[in-house]
Amino acid sequence: MNTGTDSDVIITLLNETSADPDKPGNTAYAGSIEGAAQLVKDGEQRLTVDGRVTASALDVQQGELALQNTKESSIISGALNVEQDAALTLNAASLAAGDLAGSGSITPERGRPALHRQGHSFRPDAPRKRHRPRHPETGQLQPDSGYGQ
């Protein structure tokens, strides 16, 4: 889907439809969503997008948005906002955003590349600082040759 070149256009992505109108469900979109429009994810269920996503802004207001494209990076040139009680799941090549906002959750799938924000990189598979083990009975720190690696 091409959203055009006008960044003032706002497109709302809903996922409140199913075969039974009284039972909203999770939905999937197999294509890409590309252009300069601002995207708003609304609806309480999960919307999975298998293609690349490019937009001037992305606002996940409700439910979960799952980006699944493992071959092409998605790019949000402006703000990426995930509201409280909403979620963004990244199982994508990477996602670059101009700014991050909101109090919802952003979950990179294990082993997938980074979420980038203006020169900062957040990687789920990056090495973490290890803590020295404690003795099970005394609680004293034990020597560990791999500490801090």
Is the pTM above the cut of 0.75? no
CB neighbour list of residue 115: distance below 8 Å, 6 or more residues apart = 90, 94, 95, 97, 106, 108, 121, 122
Which pLDDT score, from 0 to 100, does residue 16 have? 64
Question: In angstroms, rounded to a whole number, what is the distance separating the alpha carbons of residues 13 and 37?
Answer: 12
Cα–Cα distance, 10 to 147 (Å, whole number)? 49
Kindly give, in sequence order, each residue whose CB lies less than 8 Å from that of residue 97, ignoring residues fewer than 6 positions away: 58, 75, 76, 78, 79, 80, 115, 116, 117
pLDDT of residue 114: 55
Q: What is the pLDDT along the chain (149 residues), one digit of tens a residue?
A: 888 888 888 888 876 655 555 556 788 888 999 999 999 999 888 999 999 999 999 999 999 999 988 888 888 998 999 998 899 988 877 888 888 888 888 888 765 545 655 444 444 444 444 455 666 777 666 665 444 44
